[in-house]
Chains A and B, each alone.
Chain A
Amino acid sequence: MIEYLQHTFTFNHVWYTVLGSVIGTIIGLIPGLGPAAVVSMMLPFAIGLDPISGIALLSGIYYGSQYGGSTTAILFNIPGESSSIMTVRDGHLMARRGQAGLAIFAAGISSFIGGVSATLLLIFLAPPLSDLAFLLGPAEYTILILLAFIIISVIAARGSIVSGMMMSLLGCLVGMIGVDVSTGVSRFSLGQDFLYDGINFIALSVAMFAVAEIMYNHASHGITRFDNITVKFSNLFQHLRQIFKPAARGSIIGTLLGLLPGGGITISSYTAYAYESRYDKTLGTGSIGGVSSAEAANNASAHSGYIPLLSIGLPENAVMAIMLGAMMIMGVMPGPTLINEQSDVFWGIVVSMLVGNILLLVLNVPMIRIWTSLLKVHKSVLYPIIFALSTLAVYSARNNPADILVLATISVIGYMMVALRLEAVSFIVGFILGPKFETMLTRSLTISGGDVSIFYTGWINIMMLSVITITLTYHIIKNRIINSNNNT
């Protein structure tokens, strides 16, 4: 660990962690601009760096946005991120009572406690999970990817799980455009050179998460203006005791829910807030405990989402799916082999997360006045710049103007998906894992001579198939109960 700590504490790695954290904080502050959009736009820059610096930059943006989101929630009664919804309730009431500084301090400290505790769990839990590497063959990988499709469909499902699974399949199809790795034959490219290597992942993620989201937000909400609010700091340290216990409870809940497929950051903050109401009867009236528990939970959940991503290659949300794609472009293979074969990258990510959390605490609390001044930037300035940066990000990745055409086409598809409330996360997970699913499926059937029993032989496959069955059954029964309640 000490050896890896020394390796990670290079100036470059720390610098990119700082840069990512600053960008993430700014993103979190601005409502309607999620971390997925910015992580996508930063991809061309990140993949040009060494893997640890690149991942540190993208990770910093992700968890930095969790810190920044709370500031907008507290000061302006607007959740910068969906995960800050519970912070709005007590945080803004505190701000209106003149305790904005205290609320931001509580959010910062609690996010720090949540982030660090989840990172420590990653250190202890991921290496044992990596031992699975020796037990997984092509058939096990096939079922594991199928499990990923189903779980992400359940998480993303806004109505029907079938809709989520179909989006995964559509993503698989689009991901299969280009050269087939097994045979070397170019397919579905209509003879176009720019499709020979497949759809550019950066163009796809920028179109789906930056362009489409901005257009949808603008079409449905128009342009929001912010009023300025003064931030006052009072004597903060006497409140540390009040913050610590709710933050600890929130951290445990957030870490566990982030670890479980389907937990999610927003659900974590809801659950932690609801649990906190057992201990704090003043919740909802501007309680410091409400802010602390919700913020600790959402940041802990954001960090523990890395455990399934790094140990079994299972992304839990849109940002994790983009991170998975980015890692693969950088030559890092998230999954059971990461810790054994690319341990420097794994420990580099872990240390950058710890460093990033300390930096974010330093950045967020004393510099709050600077960050809030950024909210004065009007969206009529911000959105065109994002469009311009999106074009630059996509073009600069390969210097191929044809990628801009891909961006245009997928932006239309992405906008339709967002407007139709289809699951873009399932689509992107299908896009990333689809080609691997096909390769593993074909390889398994070649090994077994076409015998499908290879997929339900062995305890790992049986266990994963059981999880799939239980997940699907639970979801179907839950939907039936909800439907019958709605009918009566």
Chain B
Amino acid sequence: MNNKNIMTGLLYVVLSSYFLIQYILIESVRNFVVPFWIAVVCFTYGIFNIISYRSSEVVNLPLRYVSLPLILFGLAYVLVSYNTALGIVSVAVMSSILFNRPFDLRNFLIMLVTALSVALLYDLLVLKELV
């Protein structure tokens, strides 16, 4: 459980810092005035949200959901480089572990066959185009 203001503030601070850091590090970026001021406003808003602590509202951000896309798509990134179908099916199987609860073999097999068909169809179409 996290305070909504703090989490919102952190989101703004982290995202705007990505831009502000590049203003400090990369010289050519300094010519762009508009993004700089937008980044400053976003950063300030983020800091204001963190320190103001106005809201007692709490939001539920389970870590497994926050980390899930990174694990799922991270795996897909690695596997897609070797084989597209493998990457796509791996995402389906991994996400099935989360959504297929309690585990139902029939649903898992339906999902697997569908994902395999889509992936192989895509591979086939790409190969046909290449040939």
Interface residue ranges, A against B (CB under 8 Å): 163, 166, 169-170, 172-174, 176, 180, 183, 185, 187-188, 190, 207, 211, 215-216, 218-220, 223, 378-381, 383-385, 387-389, 391-392, 395-396, 401-402, 404-405, 407-409, 411-413, 415-417, 419-422, 437-438, 441-442
Contacts and interface: CB of A to CB of B under 8 A. Distances in A.
Given A185-B28, A380-B111, A408-B73, A392 B19 contact: no
A409 B71 CA distance: 11
A416 B39 CA distance: 20
Nearest to A422: B8
A4 B5 CA distance: 53
Contacts of A409: 70
Given A169-B42, A218-B98, A395 B91 contact: no
B91 A391 contact: yes
Contacts of B118: 385, 388-389, 392
Given A384-B115, A392-B118, A404 B73 contact: yes
B31 A388 contact: no
B62 to A, nearest CB: 6
| Most chain B CB inside 10 Å of its own CB: which residue of A174, A220, A420 | A420
A417 B11 contact: yes
28 contacts: A170-B42, A172-B38, A173-B38, A173-B42, A176-B32, A176-B35, A187-B28, A220-B60, A379-B99, A380-B107, A380-B108, A381-B114, A384-B93, A387-B91, A387-B92, A387-B95, A388-B92, A389-B118, A391-B76, A391-B80, A391-B91, A392-B122, A408-B69, A408-B72, A411-B73, A412-B67, A413-B15, A419-B59
| Most chain A CB inside 10 Å of its own CB: which residue of B31, B34, B100 | B34
A207 B26 CA distance: 29
Contacts of A395: 80, 84, 87-88
Nearest to A389: B118
Given A391-B87, A422-B11, 11 more contacts: A166-B12, A173-B15, A176-B32, A188-B35, A211-B69, A380-B96, A384-B96, A392-B119, A416-B11, A420-B7, A420-B59
Contact of B77 (A401, A420, A421): A401
B89 interface: yes
B41 to A, nearest CB: 6
B99 A223 contact: yes
Contacts of A218: 65, 98-99
B101 interface: yes
A442 B34 contact: yes
Interface SS majority for chain A:
helix
A441 B34 contact: yes
Contact of B104 (A378, A391, A441): A378
A412 B74 CA distance: 12
Contact of A219 (B18, B38, B65, B93): B65
Given A219-B60, A401-B81, A438-B35, A173 B19 contact: yes
Give me the 6 closest cross-chain CB pairs, A-B, nearest first. A411-B69, A408-B73, A388-B92, A380-B100, A387-B95, A384-B96
Given A396-B122, A438-B35, A391 B111 contact: no
Given A169-B38, A173-B16, A388 B88 contact: yes
A353 B62 CA distance: 42
| Most chain B CB inside 10 Å of its own CB: which residue of A381, A415, A438 | A381
Contacts of B42: 166, 169-170, 173
A174 B61 contact: no
A407 B77 CA distance: 10
B58 to A, nearest CB: 11
A282 B43 CA distance: 54
Interface in B88-131: 88-89, 91-93, 95-96, 98-101, 104, 107-108, 110-111, 114-115, 118-119, 122
Contacts of B66: 412, 415-416
A441 B122 CA distance: 43
B101 to A, nearest CB: 7
A304 to B, nearest CB: 32
Interface in B10-29: 11-12, 15-16, 18-19, 22, 26, 28-29
Contacts of A219: 60, 62, 65
B114 to A, nearest CB: 5
A28 B107 CA distance: 22
B69 A385 contact: no
A384 B100 CA distance: 9
Contacts of B62: 219
Nearest to B69: A411
Contacts of B74: 405, 408
B115 A388 contact: yes
A183 B73 CA distance: 34
Nearest to A175: B35
A216 B66 CA distance: 10
A420 B4 contact: yes
Nearest to B108: A380
B7 to A, nearest CB: 6
A442 to B, nearest CB: 7
